[in-house]
């Protein structure tokens, strides 16, 4: 389920343009930012959320990478632990 209001969309990974195009086709009327580096995409999404909720919709593989990024920053445990 897509949240009723999307302030911005930050896509990262191997096929970010595909996801951005899909969201645009769904009528998500929000700025779409494509960033190939996950850590930079996370930083931009957190900044854009401005303290509000932030939703991540990763594939399973991207979820593991995101968890590693969060673990490196000390805000989550490593997925493999």
Judge whether 3 lies within some domain.
no
Q: Percentage of the chain with pLDDT > 70? A: 80
Judge whether 13 lies within some domain.
yes
Predicted confidence at residue 81, as pLDDT, reads: 74
Judge whether 1 lies within some domain.
no
Which range marks the domain in which residue 20 is found? 9-72
Running DSSP on this structure, what letter comes out for residue 79? T
Judge whether 45 lies within some domain.
yes
Judge whether 54 lies within some domain.
yes
SS3 9: strand
Judge whether 49 lies within some domain.
yes
Judge whether 34 lies within some domain.
yes
- Rounded distance between C-alpha atoms, residue 49 and residue 5, angstroms: 12
Tell the residue number behind the tokens 């779409």, with chain if given: 32
Q: What confidence tens digit (pLDDT) does each residue in 49-77 have?
A: 888 888 887 878 888 988 999 999 999 99
State pTM to two decimals.
0.69
Number of domains in the chain: 1
Judge whether 80 lies within some domain.
no
- Rounded distance between C-alpha atoms, residue 1 and residue 21, angstroms: 17
- Rounded distance between C-alpha atoms, residue 58 and residue 11, angstroms: 9
């Amino acid at each position: 389920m897509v949240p009723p209001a999307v302030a911005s969309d930050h896509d990262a990974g191997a096929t970010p343009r595909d996801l951005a195009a899909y969201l645009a086709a769904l009528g998500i009327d929000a700025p779409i930012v494509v960033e190939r580096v996950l850590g930079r995409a996370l930083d931009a999404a957190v900044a854009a959320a401005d303290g509000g909720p932030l939703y991540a919709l990763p594939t399973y593989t991207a979820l593991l990478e995101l968890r590693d990024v969060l673990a490196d920053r000390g805000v989550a445990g490593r997925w493999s632990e």
